[in-house]
């Protein structure tokens, strides 16, 4: 028997891989979050349906696996903007649009510029605030993003190249936006540069603004609250020497074990900040008397590789546990029972969980598969990733296997989040079991 609809809150820590948290065997304490949730949370072995932001968010928001929603990379579309264009043209329902239709107040905060109208991920939100001003990846780039003007971004990127691209881009803005427009962009750029120079900016990539959003803007019920925070996303240090223009990895870092360890240390610090931020959001909801009537989900969109498999970051197209193993920690609303399970739980399944809570359902259980994570092409210029490699990870119950479809190679076999020896009899049995669930094309 269904009860009254309940609120839904999803806090997504971008780039947070599962294995660094203590509830999964890591070192980053989740105690602040678990205590904020009244020690009622259930921990699932989560996986993302993609290795990067846009496809995985679409799986979360639609309940569809990557091959079903179609917003993903490919041999002829391996740039952020080309895939984002697919997202803007997506015409199906999303969690926000469906709950808005049912009378929910739909509000979100994103510190990731891709989680916005740029990729069509704002569909259904009455308000999706985007604040990515922490991202200064080069002169002028972030101030333009901060102005939320996709047309400027696309036009400047296409027109201005070479050694003088920033100067020519500025002159272009001056010509088209006038002195006041150029001055405001320049002022914003130097303002953010100054703030970064005076503070440990990597410690706060937007989570304090996210908390303010919850404190001031969550008012009526029922509501859907979505928060994307970026504290676990690179860069991890101000003027990081291992980044080119503080924008992309210098891939020579892979041959420097000390350098990789330094980056991973910064990553762990960011992961800890994410947990504390989620705990603060839960505490704000509690202080407003809302937490008990709210389904609270803490998760991520993908992981982050630190040279474990010959690449760094999250654009390689790899589907190892480090790349797509994500936390899923859930506190049910009062009156709803969640089944505990040691099965893998896909990011796309959280759509069904949210809809069940919003519909007043009393129970929910993971499907335990089969489920898929897919990679069609590496995104961004990672020289260690390989181009044109099609990978599929198949999940069923407690088992996972990653198949490379180009040459039928198996890259990883895992059980309940832990990789198995590929040569073991258990791994061979898992491969035989899961091969039959590969997509036909």
Q: Mark whether 129 and 140 lie in a shared domain.
A: no
Find the CATH number of the domain harbouring 319. Answer: 3.40.720.10
Q: Mark whether 170 and 257 lie in a shared domain.
A: no
Residue bearing the bigger pLDDT, 10 or 385: 10
Instruction: State pLDDT tens for residues 12-71.
Output: 999 999 999 999 999 999 999 999 999 999 999 999 999 999 999 999 999 999 999 999
- What gap in Å lies between CA 289 and CA 212, rounded to an integer? 16
- Domain for residue 60, yes or no? yes
- Domain for residue 408, yes or no? no
Q: Sorting pLDDT into bands at 50, 70 and 90, what band is 244?
A: confident
- Domain for residue 418, yes or no? no
- Domain for residue 386, yes or no? no
- What gap in Å lies between CA 261 and CA 425, rounded to an integer? 34
Residue 225's H or E segment, with its range, is strand 223-229
Q: Which of 106-115, 187-196, 204-213, 269-278 has the lowest mean pLDDT?
A: 187-196
- Domain for residue 428, yes or no? no
- What gap in Å lies between CA 279 and CA 283, rounded to an integer? 6
Burial 367-397 (b: 16+ CB within 10 A, else e): ebbbbbbbbbbbbbebebbbeebebbbbbbb
- Residue 41's SS3 state is coil
pLDDT value of residue 381: 54
Q: Which of 19-23, 207-211, 219-223 has the lowest mean pLDDT?
A: 207-211
Residue 395's H or E segment, with its range, is strand 391-396
Token pair of 262, please? 């330094």
- Among 341, 370, 399, where does a domain finish? 370
Q: Mark whether 161 and 59 lie in a shared domain.
A: no
- Domain for residue 388, yes or no? no
Decide if pLDDT at 222 tops 70. Answer: yes
Q: Mark whether 182 and 60 lie in a shared domain.
A: no
pLDDT value of residue 337: 97
pLDDT value of residue 132: 65
Domains in the chain: how many in total? 2
How many residues are recorded in the chain? 441
Q: Mark whether 226 and 361 lie in a shared domain.
A: yes
- Residue 192's SS3 state is helix
Q: Sorting pLDDT into bands at 50, 70 and 90, what band is 410?
A: very high
Residues in a beta bridge with 297: 10, 330
Token pair of 96, please? 């926000």
**What backbone phi and psi angles, to 5 degrees, belong to 337?**
-110, 125
Cβ atoms of 328 and 44 closer than 8 Å: yes
Burial 86-125 (b: 16+ CB within 10 A, else e): bbeebeeebbbebbbeeebbbbbbbbbbbbbbbbbbbbbb
What is the rounded average pLDDT for all residues in the chain? 86
SS percent in the chain: helix, strand, coil, step 5: 40, 20, 40
Residue bearing the bigger pLDDT, 303 or 218: 303
Residue bearing the bigger pLDDT, 99 or 84: 99
Q: Which of 177, 96, 151, 76 is nearest to 387 (CA)?
A: 76
Q: Mark whether 269 and 307 lie in a shared domain.
A: yes
- Domain for residue 414, yes or no? no
- What gap in Å lies between CA 279 and CA 189, rounded to an integer? 32
> 158-167, 210-219, 270-279, 375-384: which has the highest mean pLDDT?
270-279
Q: Mark whether 180 and 230 lie in a shared domain.
A: no
Q: Mark whether 190 and 245 lie in a shared domain.
A: no
Q: Mark whether 232 and 363 lie in a shared domain.
A: yes
- Residue 437's SS3 state is coil
pLDDT value of residue 178: 76
pLDDT value of residue 56: 98
Decide if pLDDT at 367 tops 50. Answer: yes
- Among 370, 390, 414, where does a domain finish? 370
pLDDT value of residue 38: 95
pLDDT value of residue 80: 77
Q: Mark whether 101 and 235 lie in a shared domain.
A: yes
Q: Sorting pLDDT into bands at 50, 70 and 90, what band is 233?
A: very high
Q: Sorting pLDDT into bands at 50, 70 and 90, what band is 209?
A: confident
Q: Which of 154, 156, 180 is nearest to 166 (CA)?
A: 156
The burial class, CB within 10 Å (0-12 / 13-18 / 19+), for 184 is: middle
pLDDT value of residue 142: 39
**What backbone phi and psi angles, to 5 degrees, belong to 9?**
-125, 125
The burial class, CB within 10 Å (0-12 / 13-18 / 19+), for 221 is: middle
Q: Mark whether 322 and 219 lie in a shared domain.
A: yes
Residue bearing the bigger pLDDT, 27 or 159: 27
- Mean pLDDT over 405-410 rounds to 93
- Domain for residue 441, yes or no? no
- Domain containing 182 equals 135-203
Spatial CB neighbours of 305, under 8 Å, sequence gap ≥ 6 = 311, 312, 313, 314, 316, 318, 320, 322, 323
- Among 203, 220, 251, where does a domain finish? 203
Q: Which of 46, 86, 93 is nearest to 323 (CA)?
A: 46
Q: Sorting pLDDT into bands at 50, 70 and 90, what band is 308?
A: very high
Residue bearing the bigger pLDDT, 257 or 177: 257
Decide if pLDDT at 147 tops 80. Answer: no
Q: Mark whether 146 and 218 lie in a shared domain.
A: no
Q: Sorting pLDDT into bands at 50, 70 and 90, what band is 149?
A: very low
- Mean pLDDT over 237-260 rounds to 80
Diameter over CA atoms, the chain? 70
Decide if pLDDT at 201 tops 60. Answer: no
Percent share of the chain, pLDDT over 90: 64
């Amino acid at each position: 028997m269904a009860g009254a609809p309940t609120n839904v809150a999803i806090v997504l820590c971008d780039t947070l891989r599962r294995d660094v948290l203590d509830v999964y065997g890591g070192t980053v304490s989740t105690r602040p979050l678990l205590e904020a949730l009244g020690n009622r949370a259930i921990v699932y072995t989560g996986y993302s349906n993609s290795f990067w932001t846009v496809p995985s968010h679409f799986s979360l928001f639609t309940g569809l696996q990557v091959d079903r929603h179609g917003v993903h990379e490919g041999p002829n579309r391996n740039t952020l903007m080309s895939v984002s264009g697919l997202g803007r043209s997506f015409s199906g329902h999303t969690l926000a649009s469906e709950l808005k239709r049912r009378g929910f107040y739909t509000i979100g905060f994103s510190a990731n510029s891709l989680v916005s109208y740029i990729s069509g991920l704002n569909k259904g939100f009455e308000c999706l605030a985007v604040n990515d001003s922490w991202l200064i990846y080069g002169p002028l780039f972030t101030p333009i993003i901060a102005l939320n003007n996709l047309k400027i971004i696309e036009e400047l990127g296409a027109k201005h190249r070479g050694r003088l691209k920033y100067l020519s881009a500025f002159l272009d803005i001056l010509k088209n936006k006038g002195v006041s427009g150029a001055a405001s962009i320049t002022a914003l750029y130097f303002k953010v540069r100054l703030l970064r120079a005076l503070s440990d900016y990597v410690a706060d990539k937007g989570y304090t603004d996210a908390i303010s959003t919850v404190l001031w803007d969550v008012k009526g019920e029922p509501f859907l609250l979505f928060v994307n925070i970026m504290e676990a996303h690179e860069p991890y240090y101000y003027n990081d020497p291992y980044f080119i223009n503080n924008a992309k990895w210098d891939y020579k870092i892979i041959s420097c074990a000390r350098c990789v360890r330094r980056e991973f240390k910064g990553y762990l610090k960011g992961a800890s900040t994410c947990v504390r931020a989620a705990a603060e959001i839960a505490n704000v909801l509690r202080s407003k008397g809302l937490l008990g009537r709210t389904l609270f989900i803490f998760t991520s969109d993908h992981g982050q590789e630190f040279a474990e498999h010959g690449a760094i970051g999250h654009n390689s197209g790899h589907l190892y546990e480090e790349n797509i193993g994500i936390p899923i920690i859930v506190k049910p609303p009062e009156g709803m029972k969640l089944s505990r399970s040691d099965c893998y739980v896909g990011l796309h399944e959280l759509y069904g969980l949210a809809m069940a809570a919003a519909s007043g359902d009393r129970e929910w259980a993971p499907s335990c598969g089969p489920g898929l994570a897919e990679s069609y092409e590496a995104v961004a210029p990672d020289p260690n990733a390989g181009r044109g490699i099609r990978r599929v990870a198949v999940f069923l119950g407690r088992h996972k296997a990653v198949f490379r479809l180009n040459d039928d190679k198996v890259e990883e076999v895992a059980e309940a989040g832990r990789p198995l020896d590929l040569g073991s009899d258990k791994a061979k049995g898992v491969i035989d079991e899961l091969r039959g669930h590969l997509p036909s094309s």
